Structure 1
Amino acid sequence: MRKNRSQWSGRGLAVAGTAAALTLMSACSGSGADDSDVEVQLLAFNDLHGRLAADDSMLLANEDGEEVPAGGTEYLATHLAEARDGQPNSATVAAGDLIGATPFMSAAFNDEPTLEAVEAMGLDVSSVGNHEFDGGVDELQRLIDGGCPEDGCPEGTDEWEGTSFEYLGANVVDKKTEEPVLNPTWVKDFGDGVEVGFIGMTLEGTGDIVSKEGVKDVDFLDEVETANKHAEKLMDDGVNAIVVLLHEGGFPVEEDADYDCDTVGGTAGVSGPIVDIAEGLDSAIDVVVTGHTHQNYVCNIPDPEGTDRLVTSAESYGRVMTDIRADYDTESNDFARASVEGSNLVVDREVSADSDQTEIIERYDELADGIGSEVVGYIDEDIVRVQTRDAESALGNLIADMQLERTASDDTGGADIAVMNPGGIRDDLLVGDDGEVTYADAFSVQPFSNYLVTMDLTGDQLVELLQQQWTDRDDEPLILQWSEGFSYTIDDSQTGADRLVEDSLELNGEAIEADQTYRVTANSFLADGGDSFHTFADGENRLTGELDLDAMLNWFADNSSADEPVTAPEINRITVE
């Protein structure tokens, strides 16, 4: 067996039960109950990304601006258990990205440790997120149904039994049949006639941000149309209390936002995709639990009839949980919308560690240690990424340099340039006490097992790629990371694609020529047009090489030692005017 299933106020610092969780924010659509009402509790989190073990980097600022240690499933499980105490009608829900982009301890075992952990803490239902599709639809289905991966179960583990919680994907449909490939909805029966329906979805743009090969047979449909269709089906079945679990979200902003939200340290507005989605969701839907953007908010966004509806997001990595309360009217079999309220709580570590979670972490940590502790290279300083993905970074430059060297020879691709997507860099390389880089460290930086692909691109196509850093996402640009020798200039006074100074592109001091062909290396995610860099998909004369992780490991073996550790590259390839 591998499964181990075993009253706060407003804003400001407050105590939630015995868990001593810090209240970050609270919002509600109103208040009031009558004798026919039964209180229902929903405990929510999102974007766990397999962060099982607590570590010193998992911090969160409280309302006083003080960073406190937060997260770790040993503490999340305890906070959830204490929040449930005295609540007979409680469900624990999530909004996707439980797995994918996970630390080595989980990723080395196909993220089965994370699924085991969330089951042990009592998760009832989750939507899928984009990272649930990192291994493709077939691998996700294996994780749900059970069985060993194609290359066999990892050493030291038994055959995976599958998930016991519900994984929902209403808008993930087979291209031929147009039917959902995962369960679209699930109904929680609390007893005594109290039923709540859940609709789970990932963002419509999932196909653009995961490897296309793994999702080639499915489409990701519009979130609003999908949710409204399934809400109608739930109501046809007599289920009127409806919650959407959606892996898409928004961003708290100080100005130019339509709706106020409770956020860390006060109030702000909210912007981003969730606003239009929430405004369009059928008024029969009572609560929207979101994710993807790794933000903290508890908002009231009016539904199409103008009635406030709660929309929440609980940050990331299990550092925050949302406690939602609603009165269920047993006469209408629906939530009393005016009663719906929610609070986001910091998952602090001032509570006892959950023993089941401790056992899971220690067991998999021991199994992973033999693999992950191998020293593969040396560094003499921290080499870090940019968290916001909108600038050049030392680690991005280093990875691009590694990939260029590994594909520069004629037999490996003849590359002139290499490029890395910032979203594919999932962790920093930290020097620690001894400068050693272990296999686990390298894996945590590049966990997606993408192949290196070298292709022909013209100078004009390189211009197109650089412009696509801002096209349709001027507020959230994705700045690609380029290898040494390639450079260009950004004009920050412009907007959109005009930010690129088109005649500034150079390679080794020579201007990039529009009609000249260059050999460019990118990982297979980018090479397929991932992150909406569609021009990569037009590259010709492709040669597929080694895995990106293997490229890093081989580069470290050739270019570092304890006596000659690696230094962070300079950040000098992009000039901003």
Structure 2
Amino acid sequence: MPATSQPFRPRRRRVAGLLAAAASLATAGALAAALPADAHGNPSGGGYGHGSKPSRYQDVQLLSFNDLHGNLEPPSGSSGRVTELQADGTTKTIDAGGVEYLATHLREARKGNPYSITAAGGDMVGASPLISGLFHDEPTIEALNKLDLDVTSVGNHEFDEGAKELARLQNGGCHPVDGCYNDGETFEGADFPYLAANVLDEKTKKPILKPYWVWKKNGVKVGFIGVTLEGTPGIVSADGVKGLQFKDEVETINKYAKELQKQGVKSIVALIHEGGFPASASYNYDCDASGGGSGISGPIVDIAKNVTPAVDALVTGHTHNAYVCTIDDPSGKPRMVTSAASFGRLYTDTTLTYDRFTGDIARTAVKSANHVVTRTVPKAADMTALISKWNTLAAPIGNRAIGYISADVNNTGTESPMGDLIADAQLAYGKELDPETDLALMNPGGVRAGLTYAAKGSEGDGVVTYAEGFTVQPFANTVNLQDFTGAQVIQVLKEQVSGTNAAAPKVLQPSSGLTYTLDLTKTGADRVVTDSIRLNGAAIDAAATYRVATNSFLAGGGDGFPTLGQGTGDLVGTDDLSALAQYLTAHSSAASPLTPPAANRITVVQ
């Protein structure tokens, strides 16, 4: 059977879960009697009352998270913190994340909730740190199995290595090139289904994986439909999405919601790998303080307003933001829309009150909140063992020093020190390939983290290891050189804030020598002040030819930069991580560490 059409095959069912289910049937009456009554006068947590007769309303716990990106170990720096709003209006940051702690939090949250589902909103893998990325994310799938994840949608990063590799992660089998990593062990794949309702095989026009999945327990049925953003081909390499079609999110969800209803499934949750931008960076911000949905903007708002009212809740992702909002569905009824930031720093706990008479969710009773995955709880021993196993395999490569820094190289702001450092590394490497190379541009989405001076496991001496570099640049893009006219260079800079990037600008990180002004008081392409663009102090000559270094993703016109796909004189070099490692090695030492770039190449007017 072709890899793109292989179905989800459950294998290792949870023995403890099955025993617990059996026990819950035997003791249902006692449980119901012991629990406090809900707003309807029914037992709030049990499913049965008055002997063996089910009570009408049953609370179903939905635990969810998104955009884990293979972060098994606690993320470092700002990637491993969340902001919490305090009662007095101030904020504080909390260290968060790491699957050893996520497992503990989820397992604790499930206690006392016999009807509990764990779901995810995509990007579980891809752009992963070395411990997972080096092994094609098999460690993350193993961790998610141990977390008892029930279901997830695909995200754009699930396609980084193509549909065949995604099918392998679902169904198991050793990597076709690298083989099996542990002697005598064959990778068994995911215990949970990946849902890809809007990702079709170009030839068959059918979803490459299951479009939906139904959770069932004691007569309670909840359906899940999984989609990724329609624009995935614009943010994934061409090879990763070759032979695939990505359909509209709303149309797809509405189609399969009807199909589920025909099957008698009336309680439906959409897992959508697309998201929004809340008005506050605090995870506990009241998104509805000024009225339903007014505290959030971005693509998810239009999606939520148009997805059929048959869908009762939306678990979202992609933007790496945290929010719990209600947005009115097409009938004008409030509906919960959630996202748990990224990297396993938060999880969302949503209560869905299931009406056994109607088979639907009583929407007025839905409540939800994000919770911090703090690092103050005990580590889950099974996750510690898993991390230790894979770290042992990765250590010979990951622990190698590739450079030294004098302070944190942060990945924050419109222009980040980390982005500038990568651009400088690609310019230096480009000049080695071709001395005529003039500048380099780096897409901000390709910079996955910063470098921390006191990284985990170090003595605070500023050593940069290969593993840390891999966390920053995990995509294995190549460094490509292309020729552009000055007019095209100017157009590329304008595409940062126009076209598909008009609503959510993607500001390219410039190499040393390229400067200009970004005026955010203006709109569209005019936000880039053309007269301000300088290269080594000289104005860009529209008629001249410039040699530009980018990664292969940008060189293909990715991230909404079509002009970068029109270059000539292509020259393909090594992978971008090697270029960064080479630069750090050449420009730093223990005695003379590299100073982070000042991030002052773009003047921002607000």
Q: Give TM-score scaled by structure 1 length.
A: 0.88
- Report the Cα offset of residue 427 of structure 1: 1.5
Residue 393 and residue 544 in structure 1: after superposition, are their counterparts in 2 closer, same or farther (change >3 A)? same
Which residue of 564, 567, 575 maps to 2:595? 567
Q: Work out whether 1:346 is the aligned partner of 2:372.
A: yes
Give CA-to-partner distance per residue, 1:256-296, whole Å, 9 cap, x none: xxx97258xx9971211111111101111111111112222
Q: Is the 8 A contact 1:4 1:356 kept in 2?
A: no
Q: Work out whether 1:40 is the aligned partner of 2:93.
A: no
Equivalent position amino acid for 1:208 in 2: G
Matches within 5 A, 1:296-311: 296-311=322-337
- Where does structure 2 lack aligned partners over 5 or more consecutive residues? 1-10, 16-37, 43-54, 455-459
Matches within 5 A, 1:479-494: 479-494=507-522
Question: Which residue of structure 2 aligns with residue 18 of structure 1?
Answer: none
Question: Which residue of structure 1 aligns with residue 24 of structure 2?
Answer: none
Q: Work out whether 1:530 is the aligned partner of 2:558.
A: yes
Give CA-to-partner distance per residue, 1:336-362, whole Å, 9 cap, x none: 222222222222234322221121112
Q: Is the 8 A contact 1:170 1:200 kept in 2?
A: yes
Which residue of 465, 469, 476 maps to 2:496? 469
Equivalent position amino acid for 2:349 in 1: D
Give CA-to-partner distance per residue, 1:436-485, whole Å, 9 cap, x none: 21111111111100011111111111111111111144453211112222
Question: Which residue of structure 1 aligns with residue 202 of structure 2?
Answer: 175
Q: Is the 8 A contact 2:12 2:191 kept in 1?
A: no
Distance in 1 of aligned mates of 2:578 and 2:167: 27
Q: Is the 8 A contact 1:203 1:248 kept in 2?
A: yes
Secondary structure at 1:135 match in 2: coil
Equivalent position amino acid for 2:242 in 1: K
Distance in 1 of aligned mates of 2:586 and 2:136: 29
Distance in 2 of aligned mates of 1:515 and 1:52: 50
Question: Which residue of structure 2 aligns with residue 246 of structure 1?
Answer: 272
- Report the Cα offset of residue 322 of structure 1: 1.3
Q: Work out whether 1:408 is the aligned partner of 2:408.
A: no
Equivalent position amino acid for 1:456 in 2: D
Q: Work out whether 1:377 is the aligned partner of 2:403.
A: yes
Distance in 1 of aligned mates of 2:40 and 2:326: 17
- Report the Cα offset of residue 420 of structure 1: 0.7
Q: Is the 8 A contact 1:414 1:519 kept in 2?
A: yes
Residue 31 and residue 345 in structure 1: after superposition, are their counterparts in 2 closer, same or farther (change >3 A)? farther
Secondary structure at 2:271 match in 1: strand
Residue 290 and residue 400 in structure 1: after superposition, are their counterparts in 2 closer, same or farther (change >3 A)? same
Q: Work out whether 1:356 is the aligned partner of 2:376.
A: no
Question: Which residue of structure 1 aligns with residue 583 of structure 2?
Answer: 555
Q: Is the 8 A contact 1:31 1:338 kept in 2?
A: no
Distance in 2 of aligned mates of 1:225 and 1:544: 40
Q: Is the 8 A contact 1:4 1:119 kept in 2?
A: no
Secondary structure at 2:392 match in 1: helix
Which residue of 90, 94, 98 maps to 2:120? 94
- Report the Cα offset of residue 156 of structure 1: 4.1
Equivalent position amino acid for 1:398 in 2: L
Question: Which residue of structure 2 aligns with residue 452 of structure 1?
Answer: 479
Q: Is the 8 A contact 2:180 2:187 kept in 1?
A: no
Secondary structure at 1:416 match in 2: strand
Q: Is the 8 A contact 1:413 1:454 kept in 2?
A: no
Distance in 1 of aligned mates of 2:13 and 2:557: 40
Q: Is the 8 A contact 1:294 1:314 kept in 2?
A: yes
Deviates more, 1:437-446 or 1:506-515: 506-515
CA RMSD in angstroms comes to 2.5
Distance in 2 of aligned mates of 1:41 and 1:526: 42
Give CA-to-partner distance per residue, 1:51-89, whole Å, 9 cap, x none: 222356423233422323322212221221122222222
Equivalent position amino acid for 2:446 in 1: G
Distance in 2 of aligned mates of 1:493 and 1:63: 29
Distance in 1 of aligned mates of 2:142 and 2:203: 33
Question: Which residue of structure 2 aligns with residue 237 of structure 1?
Answer: 263
Q: Work out whether 1:326 is the aligned partner of 2:352.
A: yes
Distance in 1 of aligned mates of 2:441 and 2:76: 31
Deviates more, 1:237-246 or 1:553-562: 553-562
- Report the Cα offset of residue 412 of structure 1: 4.6
Equivalent position amino acid for 1:170 in 2: A
- Report the Cα offset of residue 573 of structure 1: 2.2
Question: Which residue of structure 1 aligns with residue 69 of structure 2?
Answer: 49
- Report the Cα offset of residue 303 of structure 1: 1.3
Distance in 2 of aligned mates of 1:304 and 1:180: 26
Question: Which residue of structure 2 aligns with residue 429 of structure 1?
Answer: 451
Deviates more, 1:439-448 or 1:172-181: 172-181
Question: Which residue of structure 2 aligns with residue 146 of structure 1?
Answer: 172
Q: Is the 8 A contact 2:293 2:327 kept in 1?
A: no
Question: Which residue of structure 2 aligns with residue 392 of structure 1?
Answer: 415
Q: Is the 8 A contact 1:125 1:166 kept in 2?
A: yes
- Report the Cα offset of residue 370 of structure 1: 2.1
Higher relative contact order (CA closer than 8 Å, sequence separation 6+): 1
- Report the Cα offset of residue 400 of structure 1: 1.2
Deviates more, 1:324-333 or 1:41-50: 324-333
Distance in 1 of aligned mates of 2:517 and 2:557: 23
Deviates more, 1:98-107 or 1:458-467: 98-107
Distance in 2 of aligned mates of 1:320 and 1:38: 26
Which residue of 51, 67, 70 maps to 2:93? 67
Residue 83 and residue 469 in structure 1: after superposition, are their counterparts in 2 closer, same or farther (change >3 A)? same
Distance in 2 of aligned mates of 1:540 and 1:270: 42
Residue 117 and residue 276 in structure 1: after superposition, are their counterparts in 2 closer, same or farther (change >3 A)? same
Distance in 1 of aligned mates of 2:369 and 2:591: 52
Q: Is the 8 A contact 1:413 1:543 kept in 2?
A: no
Residue 562 and residue 189 in structure 1: after superposition, are their counterparts in 2 closer, same or farther (change >3 A)? same
Equivalent position amino acid for 1:559 in 2: H
Distance in 1 of aligned mates of 2:330 and 2:534: 51
Residue 3 and residue 131 in structure 1: after superposition, are their counterparts in 2 closer, same or farther (change >3 A)? farther
Deviates more, 1:528-537 or 1:554-563: 554-563
Distance in 2 of aligned mates of 1:525 and 1:429: 22
Secondary structure at 1:532 match in 2: coil
Q: Is the 8 A contact 2:430 2:549 kept in 1?
A: yes
- Report the Cα offset of residue 510 of structure 1: 2.5
Q: State percent identity of aligned pairs.
A: 49
Secondary structure at 2:191 match in 1: coil
Distance in 2 of aligned mates of 1:70 and 1:573: 32
Question: Which residue of structure 2 aligns with residue 189 of structure 1?
Answer: 216
Secondary structure at 2:231 match in 1: helix
Distance in 1 of aligned mates of 2:94 and 2:424: 36
Distance in 1 of aligned mates of 2:537 and 2:247: 46
Deviates more, 1:54-63 or 1:219-228: 54-63
Q: Count residues with an aligned counterpart.
A: 542
Deviates more, 1:229-238 or 1:312-321: 312-321
Distance in 2 of aligned mates of 1:61 and 1:406: 38
Question: Which residue of structure 2 aligns with residue 82 of structure 1?
Answer: 108
Distance in 1 of aligned mates of 2:549 and 2:473: 16
Residue 42 and residue 351 in structure 1: after superposition, are their counterparts in 2 closer, same or farther (change >3 A)? same
Residue 233 and residue 434 in structure 1: after superposition, are their counterparts in 2 closer, same or farther (change >3 A)? same
Q: Is the 8 A contact 1:40 1:327 kept in 2?
A: yes
Secondary structure at 1:546 match in 2: strand
- Where does structure 1 lack aligned partners over 5 or more consecutive residues? 7-29
Q: Is the 8 A contact 2:288 2:326 kept in 1?
A: no
Question: Which residue of structure 1 aligns with residue 254 of structure 2?
Answer: 228
